[in-house]
Copies of this chain bind each other. A is one copy, B any other.
Amino acid sequence: MKKRLFTPGPTPVPEHIMLKMAEPIIHHRNPEFQEILTRVNENLKYLFQTTQPVLTLTCSGTGGMEAIFLNLFSPGEKIIVVNGGKFGERWVKLPRVFGIETIEIKNPWGTAPSEEEIVNALKQNPDAKGVCFIHSETSTGTATDIKLLSKVVRENSNAMVVVDGITAIGAHEFRFDEWGIDACVTGSQKGLMIPPGLAFVALSKRAIEATKNSKTPKFYFDLKKALKSFEGNDTPFTPAVSLVIGVDIALQEIRNEGIENVWARHELLANTIRAGVTAIGLKLFSNSPSFAVTPIWLPESVEWKKFNKILKGKYGITVAGGQDDFKDKIFRVSHLGFYDELDMITVIGAIELSLTESGYEFETGSGTKAVQNILSQKK
């Protein structure tokens, strides 16, 4: 059976990148690797749209976020964290472990924070040193307007703007410098199309200054060390060499496609999925849907386990289920990374077939037709 992955991380890895990573390993302190890391460092700046350093850390995205909290803030300091899902919850908890006070803006799952909520939180907490947003919350497929809210933070405070861009970078327009972001992280297994194991952290001038003053203890995640190594296109500790070799190719391809085109492709693919599932009578979960992953309500008559058994077992398609309160109630289809237009016909086709076989009634082919309509209309 042919297998196809539609999960929001790991995302599919292009075959030629897999094979490039399968070439004989090289040593990380040798000129061959330094050449690769130099190019990676340069192209990461392009990906984040910044002239500032973007550091490569060997860890998951959570490790990258921990590094930001540990290096920008000190115990006793206060930050505001927007929580509208599984990862928002985590970013509320994580800083507290290190004595950083977190003020929570809680949004119902599937909704994004409003301008007013941010302004109010800043008014009530004029001493907040940072505000943390999630650009695309993976658990709810919900996008936050980072451009707008970063401006709001800048206009109403001196707080630093921290962005979890783990599932957003490469899918959503993102301009680190122009939008005044202070710190942003992404992971390797997302828009960058390679296996998990690396996190990338961009830091503004103000954030770099903050790393010098932060009193939170750290060693592996000490970004002062990483920044120093970055200048020499090196890393303080042995990096995940094969993954860096993979991300080098992925970044070159993103650059060749053009970052604006990559964003536009993700928007188009998200639109086809939304149209496809809506046409067969399903409802979208989020009221501010992401371009990276689309969560969809299962029809009440359809059981998740039965549906997923057909989708995965018979058609080889892996999607993600719902989490926490929405377990067995929603499913999430990813279109983040290495996907094209035809993949969207494929996945909607498989969803149609699996729903039919689960006993759900609708006009057969209406989903794929809706996808086709959008694709044929695009300029």
Which A residues have a C-beta under 8 Å from some C-beta of B? 3, 5, 7, 9-13, 18-19, 21-28, 30, 58-63, 66, 93-94, 97-99, 187, 189, 195-197, 217-222, 237-243, 318, 320
Residues of B within 8 A of A11 (CB): 25
Query: Roughly how many angstroms separate A110 CA and B24 CA in the complex, as a whole number?
Result: 31
In the complex the two chains form, what is the Cα distance from A58 to B63 in whole Å?
A: 9
CB neighbours (8 Å) of A222 from chain B are: 97
Q: Known contacts A19-B22, A238-B61, A240-B197: does B27 contact A220 (CB below 8 Å)?
A: no
The complex places the Cα of A12 from the Cα of B238 at a distance, in Å, of 15
Chain B residues with CB under 8 A of A62: 219-220, 237-238
Q: Which residues of B contact A21 (CB under 8 A)?
A: 18, 21-22, 242
Q: Which of A9, A19, A60, A189 has the most CB of B within 10 A?
A: A60
User: Cβ of B28 and Cβ of A196 under 8 Å apart?
Assistant: yes
| 6 A-B pairs whose Cβ atoms sit less than 8 Å apart in the complex | A5-B26, A10-B28, A12-B25, A28-B196, A62-B220, A195-B241
The distance in angstroms between the C-alpha atoms of A5 and B218, with both chains bound, is 33
Given contacts A189-B238, A239-B60, contact A10 B22 (CB under 8 A): no
Known contacts A58-B197, A238-B196, A241-B195: A99-B22 contact under CB 8 Å: no
In whole angstroms, how far apart are the Cα atoms of A340 and B242 in the complex?
23
B-chain residues with CB within 8 Å of residue A220 when the two chains form the complex: 59-60, 62-63, 66, 221
Q: Determine how close the nearest CB of chain B comes to the CB of A280; give it in whole angstroms.
A: 25
Q: How far is the CA of A242 from the CA of B11 in the complex (A)?
A: 12
Q: Which of A18, A19, A242 has the most CB of B within 10 A?
A: A242
Closest to A190 in B: B238
Closest-CB distance, A315 to chain B (whole angstroms):
15
| Cβ–Cβ contact A238 & B60, under 8 A | yes
Cβ–Cβ contact A24 & B9, under 8 A: no
16 further contact pairs, Cβ within 8 A, besides A58-B197, A196-B241: A5-B27, A10-B26, A10-B27, A11-B25, A21-B21, A28-B196, A58-B60, A62-B219, A93-B219, A97-B219, A187-B238, A196-B240, A197-B239, A197-B243, A240-B240, A240-B243
Q: How many angstroms between the C-alpha atoms of A26 and B18 in the bound complex?
A: 13
Q: Is the CB of A241 within 8 A of B58?
A: no
Closest chain B CB from A193 CB (angstroms): 10
CB-based contact A27/B318 at 8 Å: yes
Q: Which residues of B contact A98 (CB under 8 A)?
A: 217, 219
Known: A58-B58, A58-B197, A62-B237. A5 touches B25 (CB 8 A): yes
How far is A21 from B10 in the complex, measured between Cα atoms in Å? 14
Q: Are A217 and B97 in contact (CB under 8 A)?
A: yes
Q: Are A24 and B13 neighbours in the complex by a CB distance under 8 Å?
A: yes
* A61 nearest CB neighbor, chain B only: B238
Contact status A58-B196, CB under 8 Å: yes
Q: Which residue of B lies closest to A20 (CB)?
A: B22
Query: What residues of chain B lie closer than 8 Å to A219, measured between beta carbons?
Result: 62, 66, 93-94, 97-98
Contacting residues, chain B, for A59 (C-beta < 8 A): 58-59, 63, 220
Contacting pair B28 A239 (CB below 8 A): no
